Amino acid sequence: MVSPFDVLNLDEDADDADVERAYRERVKEAHPDTGGSVEEFQLVRRAYRELSERDLNGSGPNGADGPDPADIDLTEGEGTGSIRVEFLDYEAVADRGWDLADADLFAKAADADLAPADHGRLLVEPDESLLEAAENRGFSWPFSCRGGACANCAVYLVEGELSQPANHILSEEHAERGFRLSCNGYPLSDELKVVFNVKHLPELDELRLPPGPFRRATSE
């Protein structure tokens, strides 16, 4: 039996802050791009979800209705499941004069009747990067190196969290502002909102490579 506490190397009396710290450490170790495996990555994400939701399920210190997390075997049943991603093409943002920092950006997109390729939703499986998920569902998002060495595949993170295990191009300032690479970024939260095709923003212009296998005719 492998409980959430076992996966995150925690004692059963760990508080929320302990869980958060342990998760941040373990998710880096377990990520496929840093020597881990898809299976281990899934277990870490599921362990974090079980422990972070224990109070909501009545299984935390203030409730007794839900199952005790220590009795949950993460090797049984389904994995962490698909992650829901709402996406928006930066070209649509720029064409309409919208601001990336606008809190109502996705609400405006929903009201604008954009094409499905410009604004929509997709599901990301635990073993898929964000870029792979988009491609596997028929979308053509920009990329070039696929190795974290250029900003061609960059996205702007509006909501949620996307891992960045292999990043040789974005600075800490870029990351703090919300930029991530979709080629090797794996969702770390159950839902994401991202703006893709942001590679032509002035702050990313010098970090691009010439178009590789994919060429976006309307923006090259």
Once rounded to an integer, what is the mean pLDDT over residues 170-185? 91
Indicate whether 39 pLDDT > 80. no
Give this prediction's pTM: 0.65
DSSP 100-163: TT-TTHHHHHHHTT--TTTEEEEEE-TT--HHHHHHHTT-----S-SSSSSSTTEEEEEES-B-
Which pLDDT score, from 0 to 100, does residue 166 have? 65
Q: Is the same domain home to 89 and 19?
A: no
More confident residue, 9 or 1: 9
Q: Is the same domain home to 40 and 110?
A: no
Which of 7-11, 41-45, 64-68, 184-188 holds the top average pLDDT?
Answer: 7-11
CATH code assigned at 123: 3.10.20.30
* Range of the structural domain that residue 35 is part of: 4-71
Last residue of a domain, one of 71, 97, 130: 71
Q: Is the same domain home to 90 and 134?
A: yes
**What are 63-92's pLDDT values in tens digits?**
444 455 555 545 554 444 678 999 999 999
Quote the percentage of the chain above a pLDDT of 90: 42
* Domains contained in the chain, number: 2
**What are 178-195's pLDDT values in tens digits?**
999 999 888 878 789 999
Once rounded to an integer, what is the mean pLDDT over residues 99-123? 95
In the sheet that holds 119-124, the strands lie side by side as: 119-124, 83-89, 191-196, 154-159, 179-181
Q: Is the same domain home to 34 and 124?
A: no
Q: Is the same domain home to 28 and 112?
A: no
Q: Is the same domain home to 167 and 120?
A: yes
